[in-house]
Every structure is written in structure tokens, then in C-alpha cells.
């Protein structure tokens, strides 16, 4: 019996390409620093202490989803949620009370995975995405997030995008851990890579995120920003990967 593979071909394209994953992570690294509940990261210390290891983990898990059946994808979603539930229980035992990662926090992360993957595709392919592509991708992600137990996802991409535009000023703000996260990026990436990361973020993330983080668009970087899609998928991209990613990270992201 042949089982149906999870997701649309468009979704699988986005989540099995290294550059797409890197761009989702770049955008999310910027935006998550503005999410109020980012303090959970500092309880686990997994992202603050080693951001690049978290990138590898994200890529590996999403590649698993895109290479599995619909039934197994649901199982993976529940497994991921169980990891978060375990963290909540551990924190409750250590600190007391009833610490809980809110549905809104889960939705915020989901929104990043949706929007930055679509922005990455538009950037790398240098084209406007069609409504059908956006909707197919959104419904695939929505199904996975709902399997994780995330509720109140909008019924369509159009409604989701409108709600996101409206809610960004309410949910994304500079908070006590915003600078702490950027400091952690710098420790793991080094000064030069962090400098490039901030320049790229300034051109890639939505205007509200850029302005709130105080990222400046450097005119000279615009040339490099426009050049990269031309080398995407070729030898030039591989050279850039080797320059910008530490060997352990490149190995983790390209392992079969």
C-alpha cells in the first residue's frame, strides 16, 4: 500500500532547500527577539547558548516532515509538542507555579515559519508568488501546527496575513531579552558573521521588524543582497556557505 507524502510539492521545495532554511532562520532570529515569551529560550538555554545548533535541529526536523507520510507527519507534530510539554513540566518542578508556553507564542513561531519561507522563495526566485502557492503552503503548515495542538489558526492565508499585519505592533516589541539574543548570536557566529547577518536582516525582514530592531539598510549591501539569488543553487552558493557557516554547521545541514 502506498502512503501519501506530506505536503504539496511547493511546500517540500521550500523545506528541503538549504538556502530556504537559512533564510527562514535569519528572519526568525530577528523577529523572535521581539516576542515577549522569548524568555523560555533562556530557561532551556538551547538557542541562547548555541544558535547554530538550533538551526541544524530545525532543518533536520523539517526535512523529516517533508520526507514522510501524512500519518507520520502528525506523529512528528505530536512528538515536537511533547518536547515543549516536558520543558513546561521541568520548569514547574524547578520554579514552582504553572509556567506555560501560550498558544499565542506558538502561533508567533508558526507565523515566522510561514512568512519567512514565502519571503525566501520570492527573494531567491525573484518573483511574486501566486495566491495558490501561498495558500497551499499555508494549509500545509496550518495542518502541521494544528496537529501540534496550536489553535485559532486563520482559515486562509489571506486572513492570516491580514491578522499578522494588524497584530505585529501589539505582539512584537523590544523586551528585556532582545539584546541578550543578539549577543548570543554574536558569541556563536563571531563578529564578522554577525555583522553580515544584521545587514542582511535589514533588507530581508518586514519594515516593522527592521525599524523596531533599529536595523539600518546600508546602500552598499544592496548590491550583494540582489546578487545572491543569481548564484542560488550553484557553485557560488556553496562557496558562500563555506565562508559563512562553521564546518560543524555545514556538515549538520548537508548530512543525508
6-52 pLDDT, tens digit each: 888 999 888 888 898 889 989 998 998 998 887 766 666 555 567 77
**In the chain, % of residues over pLDDT 90:** 43
pLDDT band at 240; cut points 50, 70, 90: confident
pLDDT in tens, 163-188: 999 999 988 999 988 998 899 888 88
Mean pLDDT value of segment 59-88: 82
Closest C-alpha among 90, 87, 83, 67 to residue 148: 83
pLDDT in tens, 186-225: 888 889 989 999 999 999 999 999 999 999 999 999 999 9
In this model, does residue 123 exceed pLDDT 60? yes
pLDDT band at 1; cut points 50, 70, 90: very low
Per-residue cell: 220: 552598499
Range from 15-29, 59-73, 130-144 that averages highest in pLDDT = 130-144
The whole-model pTM stands at: 0.89
Q: What is the structure's pLDDT at 164? A: 94
Per-residue cell: 66: 517533508
CB 115 within 8 A of CB 134: no
pLDDT band at 156; cut points 50, 70, 90: very high
Closest C-alpha among 213, 91, 107 to residue 160: 107
Mean pLDDT value of segment 230-243: 85
Give 130's Cβ-side CA count (13 Å radius).
4
Note the residue count of the chain: 256
pLDDT band at 147; cut points 50, 70, 90: very high
Encode burial over 137-176: b for 16+ CB neighbours within 10 A, e otherwise.
bbbbbbbbbebbebeebeeebeebbeebeeebeebbeebe
Amino acid at each position: 500500500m502506498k502512503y501519501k507524502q506530506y505536503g504539496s510539492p511547493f511546500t517540500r521545495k521550500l523545506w528541503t532547500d538549504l538556502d530556504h532554511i537559512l533564510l527562514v532562520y535569519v528572519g526568525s532570529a530577528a523577529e523572535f527577539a521581539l516576542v515577549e515569551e522569548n524568555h523560555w529560550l533562556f530557561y532551556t538555554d538551547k538557542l541562547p547558548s548555541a544558535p547554530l545548533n538550533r538551526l541544524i535541529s530545525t532543518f533536520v526536523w523539517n526535512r523529516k516532515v517533508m520526507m514522510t507520510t501524512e500519518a507520520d507527519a502528525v506523529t512528528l507534530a505530536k512528538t515536537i509538542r511533547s518536547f515543549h510539554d516536558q520543558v513546561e513540566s521541568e520548569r514547574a518542578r524547578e520554579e514552582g507555579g504553572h509556567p506555560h508556553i501560550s498558544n499565542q507564542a506558538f502561533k508567533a513561531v508558526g507565523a515566522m515559519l510561514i512568512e519567512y519561507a514565502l519571503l525566501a522563495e520570492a527573494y531567491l526566485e525573484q518573483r511574486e508568488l501566486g495566491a495558490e502557492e501561498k495558500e497551499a503552503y499555508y494549509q500545509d503548515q496550518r495542518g502541521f501546527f494544528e496537529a501540534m495542538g496550536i489553535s485559532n489558526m486563520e482559515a486562509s492565508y489571506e486572513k492570516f496575513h491580514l491578522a499578522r499585519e494588524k497584530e505585529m505592533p501589539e505582539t512584537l516589541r523590544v523586551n528585556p531579552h532582545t539584546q541578550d539574543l543578539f549577543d548570543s548570536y554574536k558569541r556563536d557566529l563571531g563578529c564578522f558573521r554577525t555583522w553580515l547577518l544584521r545587514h542582511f536582516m535589514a533588507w530581508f525582514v518586514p519594515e516593522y521588524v527592521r525599524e523596531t530592531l533599529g536595523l539600518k539598510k546600508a546602500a552598499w549591501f544592496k548590491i550583494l543582497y540582489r546578487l545572491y539569488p543569481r548564484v542560488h543553487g550553484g557553485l557560488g552558493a556553496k562557496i558562500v556557505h563555506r565562508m559563512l557557516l562553521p564546518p560543524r554547521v555545514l556538515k549538520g545541514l548537508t548530512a543525508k
